[in-house]
Chains A and B, each alone.
Chain A
């Protein structure tokens, strides 16, 4: 366990030190009007949506699945809430809108789960459907416009503060909940069992299908919350660009964190590290003054490096499995 997290941790520390070298005040934290500000808080705040989506993705990937539709789901969540709020400024409307959006996201998750567990379609393809159609649906909801809202209650989700930014608190709360529910009960083990072999775990009495449905619903709800954060942060819903490529970032975070795409084992701490690495990388690129678009090159290099570091183990595991089958 520690060994697996060593490389991501070192990478994160190296990135943070690089930031410190470029901007010496990077680690400085200051209180202002009861709000905490600083470089590290920024990293956490901007990384919160990615972390949330990555958490959902971790569980999906642990069942040997993948969810490509999270970005589109995030866009839908923002769109539905903003359209519901409209010109209203009341907190009740904001909460009703968010509730509707999250219920809708859960329904979209059920849909993904149905395609994967019910019809037995490969997860990458099943969720590709919603990834393609989802943005169209979001555009339909917003009628192709960028819907702006002016609602203080809604703004709290993405831009509010309770000492720390609210979005960080929400992300950490979900992380804590997931860690508690999956690691303090048998659920985590069952998820891993489904990832190793759905058929065998079904025969052993695990409700494979129910578990697969659950993880896709959870991933979609996480994506919904992240979508609310993204849209609330700018007080607008942009069906085209909200959460664009965030599914890729989330998958990267999960992979960097040492969760195998082949399923069967996952690490929530790893995902947290992975999400932080990705966000720190983005921040670093900004602070050292490279064009922000070039972040993609660095991301590519990090992914390849991390994958190559993990590869010999994957090979060993694979050859072991082959031997076991042939004997």
Chain B
């Protein structure tokens, strides 16, 4: 037992630090504002950030493998656009869902193939993917398209009662299922282990005979799939499709993953860290809205500062 407690902190230290930060931020809010420490505020953290949780889960895979995916925000926008225009054209909901998920995964697959087979930096390829997805939105329509489909609206507005009078939406359930699935794949399958190996040292992984190609392309497919799923959740949340939805969301996702303790150099981190990272970002937003007098742009500054602190801490840990 003692060996376990000695061993755990070094591996989980970054995630634990994030959890502590979350508890501190939340405790601060509870102490200062009435009604902050309620179950519904916590539930709202999940409701308002369900799509970001899914994005962060996908982004964790990419960053763990040593890459980066800048296209996720645009893929979210594209997904909302495909959803809204598909439903407007009278497609059945399952077909729309399938089309959205296929679009996202295909984009991810294409980017992964280009990155791997032509040895171009992930940064620049996913940047092109970002432009492409955003542009495709506007090809579908320059205007915002609202979603009027009944089934879709019912799912979006349905509330699930939890004990204690707290309600959540189906979005939250889906997001948590995605996190669970991501944790299973990353921590319990061969594919997941290979992701860590590739992120640690690609050439070593290759020399060990691990299927690096499959993993390097696979992480972008996963990220694309997660982005399109996040896009579905986002269209449930906004009930509209628009090419300017989710601008800059890729940065939020990256920030959440980094604050969650995942090393940007790859190889170190957990899916759960990304989830806690999202909750930290959500808590900051809630704090600022409870404060009332602070303007919303303080959110950006605080996120920037947090990002800096976590990167600096990571840096010193890596040096050691």
Contacts and interface: CB of A to CB of B under 8 A. Distances in A.
A110 to B, nearest CB: 15
B131 interface: yes
Nearest to B118: A311
Nearest to B129: A300
A21 interface: no
Contacts of A252: 127
B10 interface: no
A307 B142 contact: no
A66 interface: yes
A300 B132 contact: yes
B304 interface: yes
Judged by DSSP, the binding face of B is helix
B290 interface: no
A119 B312 CA distance: 8
A261 B243 CA distance: 29
Interface string A301-315: 101100110010011
On chain A, which size bracket covers the interface? 35 or more
B142 A136 contact: no
B119 A297 contact: no
Contacts of A308: 114, 118, 120
Nearest to B117: A311
A320 B175 CA distance: 45
A89 interface: no
B304 A132 contact: yes
A124 B135 contact: no
A153 interface: no
A295 B137 CA distance: 12
A248 B139 contact: no
B135 A300 contact: yes
B204 interface: no
Contact of A137 (B119, B243, B255, B301): B301
A186 B31 CA distance: 60
Interface string B108-134: 000000100011110111011111101
A291 interface: yes
Contacts of B125: 304, 307
Contact of A128 (B124, B127, B254, B299): B254
A136 B121 contact: no
Nearest to B308: A129
Contact of A314 (B119, B251, B265, B303): B119
5 contacts: A125-B258, A136-B298, A248-B131, A304-B128, A307-B128
Interface of B: 68, 114, 118-121, 123-125, 127-132, 134-139, 142, 243, 251, 254-255, 258, 264-265, 295, 297-301, 303-305, 307-308, 311-312, 315, 319
